[in-house]
Structure 1
Amino acid sequence: MTEFSLRDLERIVAARAGASPDESWTAKLVAAGPEKAARKFGEEALETVIAALGEDREALIAESADLLYHWLVLCHTRSVTLDEVLAELERRTAQSGLAEKAARDA
Structure 2
Amino acid sequence: MSAPASPPEGGAGAPGVLRRLEAAIAARKGADPAVSHTAALLARGPGKCAEKFGEEAVEAIVAAAAGDRANLVYESADVLYHMLVMLAARDVALDEVLAELARREGVSGVAEKAARKPR
RMSD (Å), alpha carbons: 1.4
Aligned to 1:67: 79
Percent of pairs identical after alignment?
A: 57
Instruction: Specify which of 56, 62, 71 is matched with residue 50 of structure 1.
Output: 62
CA distance, structure 1, for counterparts of residue 89 and residue 18 of structure 2: 17
Instruction: Specify which of 50, 58, 66 is matched with residue 38 of structure 1.
Output: 50
Number of aligned pairs?
106
Per-residue CA deviations over 1:51-102 (Å, capped at 9, x if unaligned) read 1111221100010000000000000000000000000111111421221011
TM-score (norm. length: structure 1) = 0.93
Verify: 1:19 aligned to 2:31, yes or no: yes
Aligned to 2:3: none
Tell which deviates more after alignment, 87-96 or 21-30.
Answer: 87-96
Verify: 1:100 aligned to 2:112, yes or no: yes
Q: Looking at both structures, which has the greater relative contact order when contacts are Cα pairs under 8 Å and sequence separation is at least 6?
A: 1
Report which of the two has the higher share of helix. Answer: 1
TM-score (norm. length: structure 2) = 0.83
Q: What stretches of structure 1 of length at least 5 have no aligned partner?
A: none
Per-residue CA deviations over 1:16-51 (Å, capped at 9, x if unaligned) read 222100011100111110011011001001001001
Tell which deviates more after alignment, 24-33 or 89-98.
Answer: 89-98
